[in-house]
Structure 1
Amino acid sequence: METLVTTNENNPHVVFIPFPAQSHIKCMLKLAKLLHHKGVHITFVNTEFTHNRFINSGGPHCLDGAPGFKFETIPDGLTTDPDQTTQELNEIREALLTNCLGPFVELVASHETSVTCIISDGFMPFATYAAEKLGVPIMQFWTVAACAFMGFYIAPDLLEKKLIPLQDETCLTNGYLNTSIDWIPGLEGFNLKDLPSYTRATDVNNTSLKYCVESAKTARKISHIIIHTFDALESNVIKAIEPMFPNVYTVGPLQLLLNQIENEEETKKLDFNGYSLWKEESECIKWLNSKEPNSVVYVNFGSITMMSLEQLMELGWGLANSNQYFLWIIRPDMVIGESAILPKEFEDIIKKRGFIAGWCSQEEVLNHPSVGGFLTHCGWGSIIESLAAGVPMICCPFYGDQPTNCRQMCKEWEAGMEIGNEVKRNEVERVVAELMVGDKGSQMRNKVKEWKKRMEIATSPDGSSSLSVEKLANEISMLSRK
């Protein structure tokens, strides 16, 4: 990738502000690093709670930054205790809408060097109002798939058509979610159940529903939309999105773009340990090193998803009974209201076939030759990383964009198979075995290798994603000269 400009005080200056969740921050940091490589000065803004967690996991200097790249914080009004690892999603959403506009306006206005533009997470709607107040250009970065972006974007339309909120909870089980909504551009063949989980709300004042509607409304004010996908994967949806905005940038997978500059001196200076909110346990890599190629199923439900102890145990026994090797990530806060303590008899099985860790470097694990499958919650960060590594998936969606991602993985991209989040051991056992040693798993493995090749083409120097990042960097440069 060609560097746009040299680093000096006249460089473009972009303020990034991600939604305070692991996958969003990780994704936005990667784009920030790419733009910094092209000569853009970066101010990366986290909430105080998130910043403290990074320091707690990565050490006091993990966010020191580098010339032209610095980290700053704003308060979100929630706890700053780094030992608390989880904030409830609705609590975060309420805090962001209520507490962050003023501090963010103040922070952006306080910079001695002028701010060229703000690149805001699509789920940080207050940033759009801050940009309007300050007269600063703003772009939105949606760290989700294009299909999920469209699913969130049409939230106000679903309200207007009175398709949501649901009349009551019986609509969750009486077939109402099978209502066809194939009038959405790019999402032909979709039913209501295929959209993000805000559509399950039964109250118009539901926090998730309100937050998604607010985010969609601010997206409709934006002229520059960045999406973490690539053209070949979601061509129909992207073609539907492009007429809606003057500028659309498809920039994924970001890690493959970063890999092309990883050996350059400037990138080494940015080797901050700022991607993980938990301490990564390297012992699991040593365990993987002892296993045969494609023999291990990797199990991780992301940084926020929680489940009951019963669900955890059903999952565990299903993994054990599948007779496959498995690497299972169990966060300390993964079980709702309880500690994730496994019974003694299960620990004995673990010693033979499994390895449990609290957190890991996911991309390193997915790219390890021993890993042959991924049982995932279907967060977009996990899916795009798995596709990039050529690893097929078992999809167990819970909320957010996960149902949409699952639908596309299993029906459109043919690189995954779905298992319900009810999590029954017999079903887990059957699907894990099918993924790892069955014909269906073999077919998916071939399909995901095709997607991996297409990703590599998209991120090659003349590929669609590389050209999109180049276009984005040039647009930022032009804004700085206005």
Structure 2
Amino acid sequence: MGKRPHVIAVPFPAQGHVKPLMKLAYKIASHGIKVTFVNTESTHKKLFTTSKDVEEQDNIVFTSVPSGSSRTAESQPGMVNVMKESMPGYFKELIEKITSSEKDEHITCVIADSSMGWILDVAERLGIEQVAFNPASVATLAFISHIPKFIESGIVDYGGQVMVPDKVISITESIPPWEVTGLPWSFLGLVGLEKVFFECCETSQQAIRQVKWRISNTFYEIEPAACDLIPGILPIGPLIDADAPRTSATAGSFMLEDLSCLNWLDKQSSESVVYVSFGSVAVMSKQQINELAFGLEISGQPFLWVVRADLTNEPTPDYPEGFLERVGDKGKIVEWAPQEKVLAHPSVACFLTHCGWNSTLECLSRGVRFLCWPSFADQFHNQSYICDVWKVGLKLEQAENGLMSRDEIKNKIGLLLSDENLIANAVRMKKVATETVSQNGSSFKNFEKFIKFLKD
């Protein structure tokens, strides 16, 4: 009898990277394959603070290695280089420990976030098969694969700074172009963070080139031209878990989810609620928070608004005077929501979103329309797909003062709720997303192929 296959999965330590790889890990484990999920120590602590039930899953072991820094924000400037220098040694020790202690199992492969290429290097040196996991769109991956060409042609310098202002960059006519202010490593004009993102993008394009297996949380039907540009890409998404029990925390969340919003949604009319969330990173000024609050209020629609404690640059969120009293039960504000369950709820009509890739797939998969408010990295290009290619959402346009005005927010919500074409397109995309992961769907077949590789 052969040894049991054993997979090691290593995400980049950020919310949008950990969550999809953890979903993939659960899916792999459901096929009887053991998975050891390896986080940095600070990420491991966050997960086990918010998701008490992660240990109960069959075939999955959670462990951690030091990131090389006592600071918790590994994605801050300098932290990526610290991880790159320190983590390979710790990871090698972990692999050797597993190999020596588990005689009835063999490590089939190491699946690592493509931006953690140094982890894949360790696996290669140890003679273990490497798999690169891409948590963003394949279009983003295709774009960063062109980084050497961009540098050679003078479009960007060796640090990722754009050398050709007021220009769009296109890699093929079949994929929407990128504005130079919205590249995959653009980060609110913060040069330090943009450099970190650019280095991660460079690592990703190198990692994708060196491995045989390239898997991505997307599905072929929504970005076929991009998938055709990456040899051997295996779209296995959308990775969703909205059907998990209401009482359980969604695995992979860094923050405690407020499940009370689900009971509030139960009391709302079908397809009436505006769901508002900007992910785990975006920050707004007090003035913008006020405009958004007024916009939601004058829209006349019930709304569920996720307001993180650090969403505003003020010590605490400060709403317009009398706002909470005026909206009353028509609005529900929580610090963090079980997003996939929210989007799957029949009362939700549209999603005012930052257009992160996980949020984009979750919204597409539930037939919900988008109101787009991107702020950095790949979010701007995701918006182009949402509004210009799939035609399931609308863009918010800034006023001359740089703010999204209350009237713009109100008017776009009204359009989203009434546009029959947007409604029909959203329903159609839900059908496509459902079919691709169903029996004989393209992502279903791709995942079966991957499982066969892991078991052989």
Residue 255 of structure 1 is matched in structure 2 by 240
CA contact (8 A) 1:185 1:237 kept: no
After superposition, the Cα gap between the structure-2 partners of 1:363 and 1:251, relative to the gap in structure 1 and judged at 3 Å, is same
Q: Which residues in structure 2 correspond to 1:229-378 (within 5 Å)?
A: 229-241=218-230, 244=231, 247-255=232-240, 274-336=251-313, 338-378=315-355
AA at the equivalent of 1:475:
F
- 1:380-430 alpha-carbon deviations (Å, 9 max, x no partner): 110100111100101111112111111111111101111257433222222
Task: Compute the displacement of 1:76 (Å).
Answer: 1.5
Task: Compute the displacement of 1:193 (Å).
Answer: 4.7
Residue 6 of structure 2 is matched in structure 1 by 13
After superposition, the Cα gap between the structure-2 partners of 1:129 and 1:87, relative to the gap in structure 1 and judged at 3 Å, is closer
What is the rounded CA distance, in whole Å, between the counterparts of 1:150 and 1:106 in structure 2?
34
Helix, strand or coil at the partner of 2:210: coil
What is the rounded CA distance, in whole Å, between the counterparts of 2:144 and 2:405 in structure 1?
30
Residue 416 of structure 2 is matched in structure 1 by 435
> Is residue 34 of structure 1 aligned with residue 27 of structure 2?
yes
AA at the equivalent of 1:240:
L
Helix, strand or coil at the partner of 2:115: coil
CA contact (8 A) 1:22 1:275 kept: yes
AA at the equivalent of 2:66:
P
Residue 374 of structure 2 is matched in structure 1 by 397
CA RMSD of aligned residues (A): 2.9
After superposition, the Cα gap between the structure-2 partners of 1:399 and 1:165, relative to the gap in structure 1 and judged at 3 Å, is farther
- 1:310-369 alpha-carbon deviations (Å, 9 max, x no partner): 222222222122222110001112223632232442222331531100111111100111
What is the rounded CA distance, in whole Å, between the counterparts of 1:286 and 1:399 in structure 2?
33
After superposition, the Cα gap between the structure-2 partners of 1:415 and 1:394, relative to the gap in structure 1 and judged at 3 Å, is same
What is the rounded CA distance, in whole Å, between the counterparts of 1:135 and 1:337 in structure 2?
51
- 1:140-183 alpha-carbon deviations (Å, 9 max, x no partner): 110111112212322232222221149999x79xx93433x334
Helix, strand or coil at the partner of 1:116: strand
Q: Which residues in structure 2 correspond to 1:165-184 (within 5 Å)?
A: 165=157, 176-179=165-168, 181-184=169-172
CA contact (8 A) 2:182 2:377 kept: no
Paired residues in the alignment total 444
- 1:2-34 alpha-carbon deviations (Å, 9 max, x no partner): xxxxxx982211100011222322211111112
What is the rounded CA distance, in whole Å, between the counterparts of 2:286 and 2:74 in structure 1?
19
AA at the equivalent of 1:97:
K
Residue 75 of structure 1 is matched in structure 2 by 66
CA contact (8 A) 2:117 2:204 kept: yes
Task: Compute the displacement of 1:305 (Å).
Answer: 2.1
Residue 196 of structure 1 is matched in structure 2 by 184
- 1:106-163 alpha-carbon deviations (Å, 9 max, x no partner): 1122113332110111121221222233221110110111112212322232222221
CA contact (8 A) 2:176 2:384 kept: no
CA contact (8 A) 1:197 1:401 kept: yes
- 1:216-249 alpha-carbon deviations (Å, 9 max, x no partner): 22222121100111111111211222xx3xx321
CA contact (8 A) 2:75 2:196 kept: no
What is the rounded CA distance, in whole Å, between the counterparts of 1:203 and 1:279 in structure 2?
29
Structure 2, unaligned runs of 5 or more: none
What is the rounded CA distance, in whole Å, between the counterparts of 2:367 and 2:271 in structure 1?
11
After superposition, the Cα gap between the structure-2 partners of 1:188 and 1:52, relative to the gap in structure 1 and judged at 3 Å, is closer
AA at the equivalent of 1:76:
S
CA contact (8 A) 1:109 1:134 kept: no
What is the rounded CA distance, in whole Å, between the counterparts of 1:280 and 1:383 in structure 2?
19
Q: Which residues in structure 2 correspond to 1:395-474 (within 5 Å)?
A: 395-420=372-397, 422-436=403-417, 438-439=418-419, 442-474=420-452
Helix, strand or coil at the partner of 2:214: strand
After superposition, the Cα gap between the structure-2 partners of 1:148 and 1:349, relative to the gap in structure 1 and judged at 3 Å, is farther
AA at the equivalent of 1:460:
S
AA at the equivalent of 1:296:
V
After superposition, the Cα gap between the structure-2 partners of 1:472 and 1:347, relative to the gap in structure 1 and judged at 3 Å, is same
> Is residue 225 of structure 1 aligned with residue 214 of structure 2?
yes
What is the rounded CA distance, in whole Å, between the counterparts of 2:191 and 2:308 in structure 1?
30
Structure 1, unaligned runs of 5 or more: 1-7, 264-270
Residue 382 of structure 1 is matched in structure 2 by 359
After superposition, the Cα gap between the structure-2 partners of 1:398 and 1:94, relative to the gap in structure 1 and judged at 3 Å, is farther
After superposition, the Cα gap between the structure-2 partners of 1:252 and 1:48, relative to the gap in structure 1 and judged at 3 Å, is same
What is the rounded CA distance, in whole Å, between the counterparts of 1:20 and 1:434 in structure 2?
38
AA at the equivalent of 1:149:
L
Per the normalisation by structure 1, the TM-score is: 0.84
> Is residue 122 of structure 1 aligned with residue 114 of structure 2?
yes
Residue 133 of structure 2 is matched in structure 1 by 141
**Paired residue for 1:22, among 15, 19, 38?**
15
